[in-house]
Amino acid sequence: MDTKCKSCEELKKKIEQLEKEIVELKTHKKPKLSTKEANEHTESISSFNKCQLSNKDIERFSRQIILDEITVKGQYMLQNSSVLVVGAGGLGCPASLYLSAAGVGTLGIVDYDVVDLSNLHRQVVHTEDSIGLEKVDSIIQKLSRLNSSVKFTRHCVSLSSENALSIINEYDVVLDCTDNVATRYLLNDACVFAKKPLISGSALRFEGQFTVYNHLNGPCYRCLYPVPPPAETVTNCSDGGVIGAVTGVIGSLQALEAIKVITGNNSSYSGKLLLFDGLNGSFRNIKLREKKKDCAVCGTNPSIKILQDYEQFCGTKASDKERNLALLNRDQRITAKDFADTASKHPHILIDVRSKVEYEICSLNESINIPISDILAEKNMNNIITTVKQNHDVYFVCKRGNDSQKAVLKAIEYTKKNGHTCANKFKDLIGGLTAWSINIDNNFPLY
Ligand code: ZN
């Protein structure tokens, strides 16, 4: 082999070597790590994953985690929190929907009622196929589909002085989504004893109210209302009506406030009351009275140290369902059956004291409509007295037999005041048109 050939061979080898390097560069082949280097590399990956949230949670909650007020820490606090929603109705549905979606760890629902067709216009988590189901089961079924990671706890009971504290003690925050005064006092006192913030909402007609009690040294419900209002002056959604979207606004605000309380963002509604008027679209905040030093339950020397009989205290049932007032003696009242069998066959007038709108929905034949507001304002009273003097009996009827009792009382007061002697001619129909529909005529619509 001559010298020329030798250099050819060397050149060939060099080309092969260079080609090999090109291939390696092109495939970005990483140099093999030693065992020590490999261990260090794995450690650096696991330290990156040390945030408490799973990749799935990061993806699911990313839009709220990136907020400075929430961050990974806030999300972790939410996942380790427990919230009690009392009432799976108009307020409880939107509130629990947003709390589940936001990823609270445990959500307890208290409700003893079943889903009814008349609930669906506002209690938007329940659906037509859940009519007749317990509300707690219906709501948990739906919310589990939204977020299966939440631990749902069902409390299918009526909250009472006997069970309230043991239930509330299991939770960090309590939402009052009920619609009656007795439960409001019960929840207030129980939350003061258990040292839990109480996020309270209410909605009626086009209006809503919302505040946070017993939090950040703010007042409790009793600080503001030491005694309950007279039972006959309180109107609930069943009697007064409500727009579903208004309960949606207030329930959503309750969820938002709970999220703020849990994540350590200060509550903006401790000591402040929101008044929402859906009809003119206004939100108004008013400052509440400060916590009272002599409050019977949260004051410095409280007189109430255990839960009370709240139904007796408020003179009304701790229920969002119909309330039955007892303003008259039995002999001032008549059952639907007795009215149908005998009374209606004697000369009489039947005065329906519901609103004009309700009277339009359905009414009994031959009844006349004088709304309770007119009766209480003593309008048409002279015409009624004239009829009575013609030896007619006067029967008052309403939806359930509450306003009709007030009408009898007013008529008696008016006749006595004006020197008439026909006070015994007035009676009301026990149970109102609801009793009529159930006992006399099943075709008469219930609403
Ligand atoms: Zn108080």
Domains and CATH numbers, the chain: 81-314 (3.40.50.720), 330-439 (3.40.250.10)
166 CA from centroid of ligand 1 (Å): 21
258 CA from centroid of ligand 1 (Å): 20
pLDDT at 18: 59
DSSP-derived pairing of the beta strands 272-277 and 207-213: antiparallel
pLDDT at 42: 41
Tokens of 284: 């108004």
pTM of the model: 0.74
pLDDT at 391: 79
pLDDT at 51: 64
Stretches where the chain sits below pLDDT 70 are: 1-8, 11, 14-15, 18-19, 21-51, 232, 318, 320-323
List the catalytic residue out of 177, 220, 314, 398. Answer: 398
pLDDT at 266: 82
Largest CA-CA distance found in the chain, in angstroms, rounded? 149
Contacts 24+ apart (CB under 8 A), 414-418: 414/378, 414/381, 414/385, 415/385, 415/388, 418/385
List the catalytic residue out of 93, 191, 220, 237. Answer: 237
pLDDT at 23: 59
E-strand ranges in 126-225 read 151-155, 173-176, 198-204, 207-213
In the 8-state DSSP scheme, what is residue 279?
Answer: T
* 156 classed as catalytic: no
Q: Cα–Cα distance between 377 and 419 in angstroms, integer? A: 18
pLDDT at 53: 86
23 CA from centroid of ligand 1 (Å): 79
239 CA from centroid of ligand 1 (Å): 30
| 159 Cβ contact partners less than 8 Å away, ≥ 6 residues apart | 86, 110, 167, 178, 183, 186, 187, 318
pLDDT at 324: 75
* 267 within 8 A of 257, measured Cβ to Cβ: yes
151 CA from centroid of ligand 1 (Å): 32
pLDDT at 346: 87
